[in-house]
Chains A and B, each alone.
Chain A
Amino acid sequence: MDLKQLYQDIILEHGKSPRNFGKCEKYTHEAKGHNPLCGDQVHVYLKLNSEKKLEDLKFQGSGCAISIASTSIMTELVKNQSIESAKKIIIEFINMIKTSSEIKSNDLNEDQKIKIMSLSGVRQYPMRVKCATLAWHTLTSAIEEKKEEVNTEVIE
């Protein structure tokens, strides 16, 4: 195990200065997520346009560096994607964290793939996996218009 694999500069930077932090104007979908073990909380807002594209995606919440960075990177990569692509990226991300599979999505360019892979070190820290996946599960919940809050102790 090497700490550098977990706390890469890109993660520390996103953890400190998260992108897309806040609430979208006129959002069409939202969902809340909670990790009761460490108290991490996230509230995802998204605006779906008539072409079924995620025109805007923002979040509010608090948590550890891993969870904030993961949420921030997620909003960057999924914004402007179609619903179908967004769903695929979410599945690929969760598979990467859980089973070390590669990111193959055609909807992401090389730079974006490097960004998403910066989170792959988390899989060596089983207790921290939920920190990284909370926002992604919450985004799924928002897309699927589920009313219940995502709870990491219930979904995994």
Chain B
Amino acid sequence: MDINGIKSQFPIFSKKINGKSLVYLDSSNSSQKPLTVINRLNDFYRNEFSNIGRSIHSLAVNATNKFEETRLSVKNFINAKFKEEIIFTKNATEAINLIAASFGQHNIKEGDEIIITELEHHSNYVPWHFLREKNKAVIKFAPIDENGDIIINKLKELITTRTKIIAVTHLSNVTGTIVPIKEIVEIAHKKNIPVLVDGCQSVPHINVDVSDLDCDFYAFSGHKVYGPTGVGILYAKKKWLEKLPPFIGGGAMINEVRKDKITYATPPEKYEAGTMPTAEVITFNEAIKFIESIGMNNLMIHEKEITNYALEKLKRINSLKIIGNPKNKAGVISFIIKGIHPHDISTILDEDGVAIRAGHHCCQIFHEKMNLTATARVSIGIYNTKDDIDMLCKGIENCRKVFDLK
């Protein structure tokens, strides 16, 4: 695969950051954008802008059509059965909040149980915590082992007759663990328990087929998939969207409004109140086209190669410890170096133009479990090369030199 050709599609890599070429190893946080995505946003605002939905002039019709084209592309991209099962939100966090609020309103009562895991990002914990506060629900955490794998048997043991939903990540943003979602869904469905999957880290990096996974809800963000910020996607099975109450009220999500009665639109509009991020959703179609132009399998092969190279090289660095060693691992590598705090590592690497993340990565539960306060995290995207990893390792050697480590 011609990685240099792919990399050259990203304008940011031809710029100097602090006078240095950018080595971007923070794609789990957000990915950089290819030119087609950047241009589409600009084009839409320059030449095609209109709000979608109600107006019947040409611009509005065009914008509405383009908006719906993205919905169709997303449906095909994750292999949903119906276009109406794709809801646009602000981000994945809002998508999870939507389900927690709408599902929780009628289905979760005092003493009912929600199962999440110790791997979850705060965005797949805090929305459920709201139900713990409001509805007096109980949250149970499926434990992970020292490798960063969810202990499936323990998760199974947590299920009781009070379990109302299981919410789990598809791919950990700390350890890179790829979670066996299909297995978890099978276990849950045997007891008629729906499953919500946080797909933020999986959709940009592995094949996702929601029909095959058979999960009930799947949430992800556009900005991690080479798309613009402001677009989140919620996939939900049709049966749920028809049954659950709406989340936010306002224009576009209604059918008829009378003084004594309001009826709601059918899904997906029922869940898309007010003006949507029209330009961003339309632009997101270009991000999907970008991934499809490479091919998900090619992308996975390339990222696997760079990840393996990074693991090999990092393991050779004295006093560096990689956190977690899951059975199936994607391109997310968190590590610590004895004697250097992750924030110091990040600041020193930044001087060489190497962008990583340091902190708890919105996963305090995980870090507490592993007895860590913070880690340094490297995450791989399609544009990363072995040279990037060499620059990273050179930067880490520099950190060791600054801190006088042997």
CA distance A37 to B358 in the complex (A): 9
Contact B403 A65 (CB under 8 A): yes
Segment at the A interface, from B28-36, B139-147, B317-325, B341-349: B341-349
* 30 sampled A-B residue pairs with Cβ under 8 A: A1-B351, A3-B348, A3-B402, A7-B344, A7-B348, A7-B402, A12-B402, A12-B404, A16-B403, A16-B404, A38-B341, A38-B343, A38-B359, A38-B360, A38-B373, A38-B374, A39-B359, A39-B360, A39-B367, A39-B374, A41-B373, A62-B373, A64-B342, A64-B343, A65-B340, A65-B341, A65-B403, A66-B344, A125-B347, A128-B347
Q: How far is the CA of A6 from the CA of B350 in the complex (A)?
A: 13
Question: B375 — nearest CB in chain A belongs to which residue?
Answer: A39
For the complex, give the distance between the alpha carbons of A62 and B373 in Å: 9
- Top 10 A-B residue pairs of the complex, sorted by shortest distance between their CB atoms: A39-B373, A64-B341, A64-B343, A3-B351, A39-B374, A65-B344, A64-B344, A38-B343, A38-B374, A7-B402
Q: Type the 1/0 row for A1-31, where 1 means its CB is closer than 8 Å to any CB of B.
A: 1010011000010001000000000000000
A47 to B160, CA, bound (A): 54
Interface residue tally for chain B (C-beta within 8 Å): 18
- Beyond A6-B347, A62-B373, A64-B341, 11 additional contacts (C-beta under 8 Å) are A3-B347, A3-B351, A7-B402, A16-B404, A38-B358, A38-B374, A39-B360, A40-B373, A66-B343, A125-B347, A128-B347
Indicate whether B293 reaches chain A with its CB closer than 8 angstroms. no
Residues on B close to A: CB < 8 A?
A: 18, 340-344, 347-348, 351, 358-360, 367, 373-374, 402-404
Interface centre among A12, A62, A64, A131 (most CB of B within 10 A): A64
Q: How far is A41 from B373 in the complex, measured between Cα atoms in Å?
A: 10
Determine the distance from Cα of A37 to Cα of B403 in the docked complex, in whole angstroms: 22
Chain A residues, CB < 8 A from B402: 3, 7, 12
Q: Does B343 lie within 8 Å of A131, measured CB to CB?
A: yes
The distance in angstroms between the C-alpha atoms of A16 and B374, with both chains bound, is 18
Q: Which residues of B contact A7 (CB under 8 A)?
A: 344, 348, 402
Interface size (A, Cβ < 8 Å)?
19
Alpha-carbon distance A125/B359, docked complex (angstroms): 16
User: Closest Cβ of chain B: how far from A149's Cβ, in Å?
Assistant: 15
A residues within 8 A CB of B18?
Answer: 1
Kindly provide the distance from the CB of B343 to the nearest chain A CB, expressed in whole angstroms: 4
**A120 CB, nearest partner CB in chain B, Å:** 16
Q: Quote the shortest CB–CB distance from A69 to chain B (angstroms).
A: 11
Question: A residues within 8 A CB of B340?
Answer: 65
Q: Which residue of A lies closest to B399 (CB)?
A: A7
Question: For B403, what are the chain A residues with a Cβ–Cβ distance below 8 Å?
Answer: 12, 16, 65
A119 to chain B, nearest CB (A): 14
Q: A131 contacts which chain B residues (CB < 8 A)?
A: 343
Q: How far is the CA of A18 from the CA of B336 in the complex (A)?
A: 21
Give every chain A residue within 8 A of B343 (Cβ-Cβ).
38, 64, 66, 128, 131
Docked complex Cα distance between A16 and B339 (Å): 8
Contact with B along A27-56 (1 / 0, CB 8 A): 000000000011111000000000000000
- How far, in angstroms, from A40 to B374 measured CA to CA in the complex? 9
- Which residues of chain B have C-beta atoms less than 8 A from A66's C-beta? 343-344
B64 to chain A, nearest CB (A): 42
Q: B374 — which chain A residues lie within 8 A by C-beta?
A: 38-39
Contact check: which of B341, B367, B404 meets A63 at CB < 8 Å? B341
